[in-house]
Amino acid sequence: MPKITFIQEDGKELIFFASSGDTVLEASRKANVPIDAPCSGNASCGKCKVRLIKGELESAVTRHISELEYADGYRLACVSKIHEDVEVLVPDISSAYKSRMKITDLSSENELAIFEETRQNIKAAGLDLKNDWHVITCFMDIPTLDDTMPDNERLIRAVKKVTGFPDIHIMIPFSVIRILPDILRNNEFTVKCVLQKKKDCVILYGIYPEHINPVIAGIAVDIGTTSVSALLVNLENGEILAKSSAGNAQIRYGADVINRIVESCKPGGIQNLQKAIVDETINQMIDEMASFAQISRNDIVKMCIASNTTMNHLFLGINADHIRREPYIPCFFELRNIKASDVNVHIHPNADIIFAPNVGSYVGGDITAGALSSMIWNKEELSLFIDLGTNGEIVFGNKDFLMTCACSAGPAFEGGDISCGMRATDGAIEAVKINEVTGESVLSVIGEMKTKPVGICGSGIIDLVSELYRCKIIDSKGIFIDGNNRVTRDAFGMGTYMLVKPEDSGTIKGVFINEVDIDNFIRAKGAIFSAIKTLTESLDMKMSMIESVYVAGGIGSGINIKNSMNIGLFPKLPADCYHYIGNSSLSGAYASVLSDKVFKKVVEIGRNMTYIELSSNPGYMDEFMAACFIPHTDINLFEEK
Ligand code: FES
């Protein structure tokens, strides 16, 4: 058996005996060495580069490795077979995930305003945003030989007296029982308690010395296929204590939900994917946010997850395979009674984890939570809610009806599947304008003034493709028209447009877009547009009847609606019909973690949505093909009216 030595960038080595003919990627997975593989080994993404240090690999030629890189030892792990002993250098992607993690200092008013707006809208719709959380101080008699009541009963008696709930069952979780004897005696039987009153019981989540002022905290999490975002909030007053975002560490098992499910079906796969999202992503975000807010993880007593159906199955370690197989049946739509300790989430072990409900295999809790914050369920006007994520999900309707569908857009809107793509964070180009005479471009970059661009986020890609088309640098199929001095072609004939030269950027490669990137993007925008058209026409309605459009997703707040219509991503409507509502899934999870009433509303929205399966709709594929042009094969759809 050939020996492969994986050397990490920090010098750590791991030796594994592979089967002859295994690829480096296969061996790395067996050896549990993480290698980024968004296309799950299809040789299409080019992200699984490793560097051969010793020995030889049988490696196919690929456009992702230049001649220079090949000579330097670079190989794609997924197309390099092991036949002899080798040593390979692998990038340390776990620290890459960590460095992609961002904790906000909450000074950005724009970031917070969107959550405040959700709260206000929900309040205005008559939903109460408070729950029955209390911090009480309990004074107990010190036990004597004449008063031998055990500690737990003594505490229960005191809680009943202070709360005035004499007949209710008081539940003390084991995490409190375990510390009870010491904390009572160290504080002369005067303590503070954090508790929540439920319909038929009171749960005592925490016990503290009298001088401590405990925070009652909750967490709202949006688990996206590409990115994960979270808010740490004060459950008493709704204050946001910390905000965090990070790449989903599952991405090394594939960029989209289908590849993740395929990986989860391999031996040990479900555990690997659950570990990637729970341990490597969410628990790390919790640690960072708790330390930023200076609270204990044990103070976090509730969590709300909003995510697509596959993500919430894999988070729970549940077999997701039936989601991708006809007749596409998930294990659950609604789920209750999950505790943090059931899934090893590092918060209070008895914390309830609630899930925004799924509606179908490809319309999940991210959409029910997002639909809540879009408020379309409370409006008279015909409205469209679009979530531009790795899956594009669409809800159409108003207060009387809600129809929904999903399409596989791929990760292009979140910067995936694009050579220089990135999330909308510091260093991302979020807007582009090209001067058609001089060819010069004006860019808007996220971050402080003078931040050098390192990549391009979804809104920037929309602008760039729109501008390249307007300036006749690409044709309607996204192919470069020869003659532009920023366009080069490689040995395979693939064209690349250099937007920012290496010396003007914050990376050694510069910021560019090539024909494969543009093709990926055109497919993504074609999927969204054709889904909108199919959904509205399935109700015998026209797209022109849509009165309001709410656009959500991590695409970047600088989304240019005019350009989005010009390239055929969105239907041609008056620009003021469109509203960008940020990460609506996270806003919905935030409101749901604060209030049981709001959570009930999300459940009701989910139950009232009618799900349309596009893959079984006979016209959808034709619509998709027609939409894979800029802007569309039917140009009449995009003419100024
Ligand atoms: Fe190897 Fe994508 S190219 S995993």
Class of domain 133-209: alpha beta
With a 6 A CB cut-off, is 48 part of the ligand 1 pocket? yes
Least reliable range by pLDDT among 340-354, 391-405, 411-425: 411-425
Q: Is the CB of 24 under 6 A from ligand 1?
A: no
Quote the pLDDT of residue 556. 61
Q: Is 464 in the pocket of ligand 1 (CB under 6 A)?
A: no
To test the pocket of ligand 1, the residue of 49, 78, 417, 516 to mutate (highest count of ligand atoms within 8 Å of its CB) is 78
Residues of the chain with CATH 3.10.20.880: 133-209
Residue 596, pLDDT score: 93
Which of 21, 72, 25 lies closest to 46, judged by CA? Answer: 25
Query: In whole angstroms, what is the distance from residue 332 CA to residue 28 CA?
Result: 33
- Cβ(46) to ligand 1 under 6 A? yes
pLDDT tens, position by position, 89-147: 987 654 444 445 566 556 567 667 888 899 999 999 999 888 889 999 999 999 999 99
254 lines ligand 1 (CB under 6 A): no
Segment 476-504 mean pLDDT: 91
- Asked if the 368-411+521-638 domain carries CATH number 2.30.30.110, the reply is no
Choosing from 29, 47, 75 the residue with most ligand 1 atoms within 8 A of its CB, the one to mutate for a pocket test is: 47
Query: Per CATH, is 109-128+217-355 categorized as 3.30.420.480?
Result: yes
Pocket-testing residue among 39, 251, 419, ligand 1, by greatest number of atoms within 8 A of Cβ: 39
Q: CATH 3.30.420.40 spans which residues of the chain? A: 368-411+521-638
DSSP 8-state class, residue 588 = H
Which pTM does this prediction carry? 0.85
**Nearest-atom index, ligand 1, CA of 41:** 4
Pairing of strands 391-397, 383-388: antiparallel
Cis bond leading into 349, ω under 30°? no
Ligand 1, atom nearest to 64 Cα: 3
Distance of CA 117 from the midpoint of ligand 1 (Å): 41
pLDDT at residue number 95? 47
What is the best residue among 33, 35, 48 to mutate for testing ligand 1's pocket, by most ligand atoms within 8 Å of CB?
48
Q: How far is the CA of 95 from the centre of ligand 1 (A)?
A: 20
- Of ligand 1's listed atoms, the one at least distance from the Cα of 36 is 4
Kindly report, residue by residue over 159-173, the tens digit of the pLDDT: 999 998 888 999 999
Backbone angles phi, psi at 271, to 5 degrees: -65, -40
Other Cβ atoms less than 10 A from the Cβ of 363: the count is: 26
CATH 3.10.20.30 domain residues, the chain: 3-91
List C-alpha distances in Å: 148 to 144, 178, 369, 439. Answer: 6, 19, 51, 87
pLDDT tens, residue by residue, 34-84: 787 767 788 877 778 899 999 999 998 887 887 878 888 999 999 999 999
Ligand 1 center to 497 CA (angstroms):
23
* Residue labelled with tokens 């098992």: 253
Q: In what order do the strands lie in the sheet with 495-500?
A: 487-489, 495-500, 511-514
Beta bridge partners of 208: 192
* Higher local confidence (pLDDT), 509 or 4: 4
Which atom belonging to ligand 1 lies closest to the Cα atom of 62? 3
- As a whole-number percent, the residues of the chain with pLDDT over 70 amount to 96
Q: Is 39 touching ligand 1 by the criterion CB < 6 Å?
A: yes
More confident position, 247 or 538: 538
Contact assessment for residue 79 and residue 60, using Cβ atoms and an 8 Å cutoff: yes
Asked if residue 196 lies in contact with residue 228, where contact means CB atoms within 8 angstroms, the answer is no
Task: Tell me, using a 6 A CB cutoff, whether residue 516 lines ligand 1.
Answer: no
Question: What is the C-alpha separation between 63 and 455, in angstroms, rounded?
Answer: 20
Secondary structure element (H or E) that encloses residue 437, with its range = none
Lowest mean pLDDT across 67-71, 205-209, 499-503: 67-71
Ligand 1 centre to CA of 560 (Å) is: 32
CATH number at 3-91: 3.10.20.30
> What is the Cα–Cα distance from 193 to 190, expressed in whole angstroms?
10
**How far apart, in whole angstroms, are the C-alpha atoms of residue 406 and residue 578?**
20
- What's the rounded mean pLDDT across residues 348-360? 96
Question: What letter does residue 606 receive in the DSSP assignment?
Answer: H
How does strand 511-514 pair with strand 495-500? antiparallel
423 band by pLDDT with thresholds 50, 70 and 90: confident
Summarised one tens digit per residue, pLDDT across range 571-623 is: 999 999 999 898 899 999 999 999 999 999 999 999 999 999 887 888 899 99
- Does the pLDDT of residue 470 top 90, yes or no? yes
74 CA to centre of ligand 1 in angstroms:
13
Distance between CA atoms of residues 436 and 399, nearest Å: 45
Residues of the chain with CATH 3.30.420.480: 109-128+217-355
